[in-house]
Structure 1
């Protein structure tokens, strides 16, 4: 069954997030957390990641850094204790691979075309992300993202991730064949709190997966879950 991939808000002071992470990560099955840092000097960013690493990794989730703050300094991933990085675009992936492989995860988004996606897979990306907003905040329709996920899942081996901006999209992308569903802003903005919103997103994934595979909810729970390798 597809698993959750949680993106944090932009982190400046990590203390509030640290306090909420244990309960949040206990509310749902989260495979990985994408830490989005506020730009700062290297020492400050390393300190923030190290502070977040304990509660994230102790919960069994991988900690990935948003590569947009690395500014070419991919070595910060290892120095901070992160498990990997999420890069934007084929060029950024290619530049980072030597520093990340084989010990750390190298994921990539910002793949505007099918050719870019295939190139990323050939280079050795550990996953490809579809559906995130571009630099102007625009993104494809839910249907277009689902189509791209289905295309990838049917033809290629590396996992694919769907960027979901709502519970509905989480359900749709799980049904389309996503291995992971990335959630973020809509979870943190939920007036009930992030934990129930995250649990709802997980339930939406289960429903989408069950509908696509013709399984009942009980069969989904009993099935073998995909693990982040």
Structure 2
């Protein structure tokens, strides 16, 4: 997920997944909408074996499309399921533990960063990306203006890539303008009645429009 001065790309953040086959179909639809960099896979509760099997079921079709698969909160499930990395919300201690177990072989990302010093702490711990704007444990979201400010601040100063979490389709264009390396379309993109293919296409159009404006300057 990391390149020299990369253009902004998209990440999908799934709702908690119990049915891997149903999610595989949704992701196939999303991939038809255009470029995707990564899928952050969230899993419902279950025994370790069943969670690993869900990751294995999704790793093939996701990675086969040259998209990285990152699993939320379990380095063990991510590694044994064949995912490309793990997304952690437990702070520097969880990151240190994951780095020890994964031995630099997989992506480690960090979310649940509520203050600037939280982001700097995990950055110093050696993560591959930081995420701003993701839902809090109670499901609430930080104000969009705060996410725009935080993503713009980070993208301007730090080399570690950042992901700006979009709370809805209307916010994507504003988040693209922050210069964040990745824009995350959240669980809302997978809701019944949403055209996820169209959402991905429209987000990529917003990215392309920003690139065109920069090139014209």
Fold conserved (TM > 0.5)? Answer: yes
Q: Quick check: 1:8–1:36 contact (8 Å CA) kept in 2?
A: yes
1:49 aligns with 2:55: yes
Unmatched runs of 5 consecutive residues or more in structure 1? 220-229
Under a length normalisation based on structure 2, what TM-score does the superposition of the two structures give? Answer: 0.89
How many pairs are equivalent?
A: 210
Structure-2 change in CA distance of 1:147 and 1:31 (3 Å) = same
Give the 5 Å matches for 1:5-24: 5-24=11-30
Note the alpha carbon deviations across 1:153-204, whole angstroms, 9 max, x for none. Answer: 1111100110001222211111011100011223222735211122112222
Q: Which runs of 4+ in 1 moved over 6 A?
A: none
Q: Quick check: 2:43–2:51 contact (8 Å CA) kept in 1?
A: yes
The CA RMSD over aligned residues, in Å, is 1.9
Q: Quick check: 2:111–2:130 contact (8 Å CA) kept in 1?
A: yes
Unmatched runs of 5 consecutive residues or more in structure 2? 1-6
Secondary structure of the structure 2 residue equivalent to 1:30: coil
Note the alpha carbon deviations across 1:116-165, whole angstroms, 9 max, x for none. Answer: 11111111000000011211223221111111111111111100110001
Secondary structure of the structure 2 residue equivalent to 1:6: strand
User: How far, CA to CA, are the matches of 2:145 and 2:209 in structure 1?
Assistant: 18
Structure-2 change in CA distance of 1:167 and 1:208 (3 Å) = farther
Instruction: Name 1:224's counterpart in structure 2.
Output: none
User: How far, CA to CA, are the matches of 1:150 and 1:115 in structure 2?
Assistant: 15
Pairwise CA distance, 1:7: 1.3
Secondary structure of the structure 2 residue equivalent to 1:107: strand
Under a length normalisation based on structure 1, what TM-score does the superposition of the two structures give? Answer: 0.85
